[in-house]
Structure formats: structure tokens, C-alpha cells
Amino acid sequence: MKATQGAKYVDPTFLRNWNEAQKYEISRSAYHFFTTFDPPQSQASNIATTLKKVNFQPGYNGLVIDVEGDSCLVEVDTMSRNVLSLITLLEEMYNFPVFIYTRANYWNACINTTWNNVWLKRPLWVAYYSDTAKQPVLPKPWSSSGTWVLWQYSQTCRMPGIKGNVDLSYLNPNLTDMSQFGKNVAVKSTSSNLFQPANIYLLINLLNSMYKTLIIM
């Protein structure tokens, strides 16, 4: 669920959404919408201050940085340094890997995709909307390795008890080794029957259980 954006904005429904989800034992994860012109340190402070209000627990609650937009607003290397700085600050703060959520066309145009070792250390949640595709279109450098963790395939699904559209995602059925995202993390097996539509909160909870003993590289 959306928590924050940039250096100052806090979603006015975040606290209520988080607490209501907890009441009904729905697994919770928070995402921050990255803002181009706000310093990474200020954005990290906004995230940390907001998550303290809901007793955020790394290793149980997931954290995602949403990197997308309609166009590139700053030079590619500047944008890349700022995104990486924010992610690094949060990983040092929580000792837990931060998901990158993005679309291939935006990431490839606005981020330095040659920083392979930097980006491939982070788990990818890719947005690619399709009812028929068997694989998502991935941004670089993940497109070379074929590595993705979550694929948001729709933003217009419906679920009982929820008014309006719901985002739904797939979990990668071939994800058998999480060690590229940190030390002491390995999943022995992942059944192919996991490749089915699922509530994103349940997927994040499953992934969190894989990361409980994580030490950031």
C-alpha cells in the first residue's frame, strides 16, 4: 500500500489502510513513490518517520521503491545515483533488501542500465500489463538474466469485498535461489503452481518469509 512520496508527502489513507489490514490479519507492505527532485536523504527520512507510526517490521513487512513516470526529468546518471542512494540508505536502516518497482520503458530510458552489479542485487517487481503474455517485458539489466520476482500483470482486477480495481501480480515460479539479494538466503524449492493470480500482500508475505535471516551484502 502507498505510504509516502518524495520528501514530505504521506498518503492520507496509509495509517488507516495499514491498521485495518492488520485487524483482519492481511499481510502488509509499504511502497514509496520516488520523486526526482527531492534529495534521497529527505525521502528516506519521510519514509522512516511514517513507518515508525505503524511499527514497521523488516523481515515481515516488505518495502518497495516505485520508480516510474511519464518522462525523464533529469540526466540519467543523476537519476541513477539518487535512486541508488535512497535504496542504500533504506537497506542500511532496515538491514533488509528493498524491492524496485518499475516499467521497462521508463527504466531503460531514465536509468543507467549498465550498472549491472548494482541493480541485479535488488529484487525486481515489474509492471507489464497483459492478459496473454507468458513472461513480462523486463528492464535492463534484468532482461539479460531473465530475473524477476514479482510481475504486476493487471491494475484492473476485481476482488470480493474490495470496491474498485485491484492490482494483481504473479510470483516467479522459477525463483529457487534468493542468494543474489543477500547472504544466508536460499529457497529450496518453489512449486510451479505458485504461478497464479494472487493478492499482492500475500505474495509479499511469502517473499518476506524467505528473507528473515538476511544480511545485506
- Within-domain flag for 113: yes
% helix, strand, coil for the chain, step of 5:
35, 20, 45
Please say if the pLDDT value at position 47 is more than 50: yes
Structural domains in the chain (count) = 1
- We report the CATH number of the domain holding residue 146 as 3.20.20.80
Residue the block writes with cell 527531492: 38
Element (H, E) at 168: strand 166-171
44-63 as b/e: b if 16+ CB within 10 A:
bbbbeebbeebebebebbbb
- Within-domain flag for 86: yes
Per-residue pLDDT reduced to its tens digit, 63-91: 999 999 989 999 999 999 999 999 999 99
**Residues contacting 153, CB < 8 A, separation 6+:** 128, 129, 130, 131, 133, 136, 168, 169, 170, 197
Provide the residue range defining the domain that includes 81.
2-177+199-216
Q: Show the cell assigned to 104.
A: 521497462
- Within-domain flag for 64: yes
pLDDT band for 158, please (50, 70, 90 cuts): confident
Q: Show the cell assigned to 203.
A: 505474495
* Nearest by Cα to 101 from 167, 32, 178: 32
Looking at residue 192, its amino acid is S
State the pLDDT at residue 96.
Answer: 85
Chain mean position to CA 93: 16
Please say if the pLDDT value at position 210 is more than 90: no
Q: What is the mean pLDDT of residues 149-165?
A: 88
- Within-domain flag for 190: no
- Within-domain flag for 126: yes
Bigger pLDDT: 177 vs 97: 97
Bigger pLDDT: 109 vs 182: 109
pLDDT band for 207, please (50, 70, 90 cuts): low
- Within-domain flag for 184: no
Intra-chain end-to-end CA distance of the chain, in Å: 27
**Of 31-35, 56-60, 63-67, which range is least confident?**
56-60
Helical residues (DSSP H) of 53-139, grouped into ranges = 76-94, 104-110, 116-120
Percent of the chain surpassing pLDDT 90: 59
pLDDT band for 211, please (50, 70, 90 cuts): very low
Average pLDDT over the chain, rounded to an integer: 82
- Within-domain flag for 161: yes
- Within-domain flag for 35: yes
* Nearest by Cα to 74 from 104, 37, 47: 37
Classify residue 126 by burial, with Cβ atoms within 10 Å: 0-12, 13-18, 19+.
buried
State the pLDDT at residue 2.
Answer: 96
Per-residue pLDDT reduced to its tens digit, 92-110: 999 888 999 999 999 999 9
Specify whether the CB–CB gap between 157 and 197 falls below 8 A: yes
pLDDT band for 176, please (50, 70, 90 cuts): low
Q: Please tell me whether the overall predicted TM-score, pTM, comes out greater than 0.85 for this model.
A: no
